[in-house]
A = this chain, B = another copy of it.
């Protein structure tokens, strides 16, 4: 069972995804893709951490998501990836010249024989004016492509606004 939780900044998508994880009644592995590059980011990470159950396992994974999912998805657990778009951002920063279509193929393939319940959180970033500059456009393009690829593979897809879900795919909650 693979779920994708889409939403804007501060839309409540992380909290909604955390509720899905809790409802799975499985042990939860939380995969954090954020890294504390500055004080503001560190504060955001701490803010999120204090809202999660203490018994959840946490794994920091700014870049090696494909390898981590290939390994961890073999276990009967719930994996919560928060968030996919930040992982993409990290990939764009560290390996800007790579073939992203191929990277997304690898990500989808890592889910092939999953024994786990996996919940992905991702940002919707394409609904405003796209800023000038090639980097911003590439980011919007690849983030959109990644969301489409994963939505195709997912069993459930939600769009979150103000903490409330619209169901794009699968049974409504």
Contact = CB atoms under 8 A, between A and B. Distances in A.
B124 A8 contact: yes
Contacts of A6: 161-162
Number of copies: 3
A80 interface: no
Contacts of A157: 162, 164
A137 B162 CA distance: 17
A40 B40 CA distance: 35
Contact of A10 (B9, B126, B131, B134): B126
A165 B169 CA distance: 9
Most buried by B among A10, A145, A165: A10
A146 to B, nearest CB: 9
A61 interface: no
Contacts of A165: 168
A87 interface: no
Nearest to A10: B144
Given A126-B10, A127-B124, A128-B126, A162 B140 contact: no
Interface of A: 4, 6-12, 40, 122, 124-131, 134, 136-137, 139-141, 143-145, 147-148, 150-152, 157, 159, 161-166, 168-169
